[in-house]
Amino acid sequence: MALLGIETLLLVCGVTFLLYLITKRQRHLKLPPGPTPLPLIGNILQLVFPNQVKAFVKLGSQYGPVSMVFLGQNPVLVLNGYDVVKEAFVENGEVFSNRGKNTFIEMLFKGRGVAFSNGETWRQMRRFSLSTLRDFGMGKRSIEERVQEEACSLVEEFNKTKGAPFDSTYLLTLAVSNVICSIVFGNRFEYKNETFLSVLALLKDTFRIVTSPWTQFFGFAPGFLQHFPGPHKMAAKNIGRLKKFVTEIVTTHEETLDENSPRDYIDCFLIKMRQGTTVFPMLTSIMKDPRYFKDPESFNPCHFLDEKGSLKKSDAFLPFSIGKRVCLGEGLARMEIFLFLTSILQRFELKCHMDPEDIDISPVPFKAASTPRPYELYITPR
């Protein structure tokens, strides 16, 4: 029995060493530079802690604008800097238009939807979504009217604070989400509506799981890990509940559909129905590039002003990404920012709950995406 145990151990060590040699050999086959991967798990341990975004950006300073890492045995090309990201996603946009492979995301969404589909399916859905959003509201309520309606509701909620400190992130999240609901579902929700708050809680919890280091570990052995308890079970359960919510709304729309007068995105969709290597573009490396922004780690409006104090455009400011996969909602987001902000500033003076110099503007750590920290402020009616 002891001999069998030793033989098994030697076999495992031999296989592990063989995989290491294969991986090491692959690193010398004209691949971009990068950290040496460990057998089986690649560079996962080097990238997920303590801050994944910073870890990927750091690769740019260590290995140059184009580097290679391995998530498990899957090679990932990491692009740092405006020039290489533009070359890939604009000058070669068609080549890099597919969404990168993520086993955890594929398990949840099955390659469906405008955000996670690829190929001709994605092209058709994106084309339809852009044309619908552009033309929506002709002869009925326009998108701008819906945003203005929500801005009024947001201002009313600000008024209710009566000068007490509060976290504006919560109310702004409700307002932005309500605009999406108005466009897609045809109706907005009251801010205390239980269904509305439940859906947002599900989305928040799912986003937390999807952007956690767990997704990288799950991709290492999905066929094995999916049979055990873990965050992936909760994420799948959340997606199931969200699907049920949307399905009920779609069913109601089907029963009340008027093809001559579409009310929202779902109506337009129902009418229409009746008719390789993963690449990570590190946008943080671009928007914090000292070649374009003098002091990228600080809040400095002068980054967007010329010598005369006039607004100037920076090609390196890419909050909505670039190329074929540029954010579908960029126009809507810019409209919301403008209308929400002007509605608030027209009616209130804003003051920090602490010394402005003490506010931490760095994103929340342990995230694959950069999200702002919670904060409180005072408002005073003008």
Query: What token pair was written down for 324?
Result: 């074929």
Question: Which residues are documented as binding site for heme?
Answer: 327
The answer to whether 277 and 77 have CB atoms below 8 angstroms apart is yes
Residue 93 carries which side chain, given as an amino acid letter? G
Query: What token pair was written down for 229?
Result: 């308890």
The answer to whether 68 and 49 have CB atoms below 8 angstroms apart is no
Element (H, E) at 233: helix 231-256
Residues contacting residue 11 through CB under 8 Å, at least 6 positions apart: none
Nearest alpha carbon to residue 75 among 34, 17, 15:
34
Contacts of residues 258-263 at CB distance under 8 Å and 24 or more positions apart, as own/partner, are 261/140, 263/140, 263/186
If DSSP codes are grouped into helix, strand and coil, which group holds residue 160?
Answer: coil
What sign results for the dihedral spanned by CA atoms 216, 219, 223, 224? Answer: negative
Question: Which residues are documented as binding site?
Answer: 327
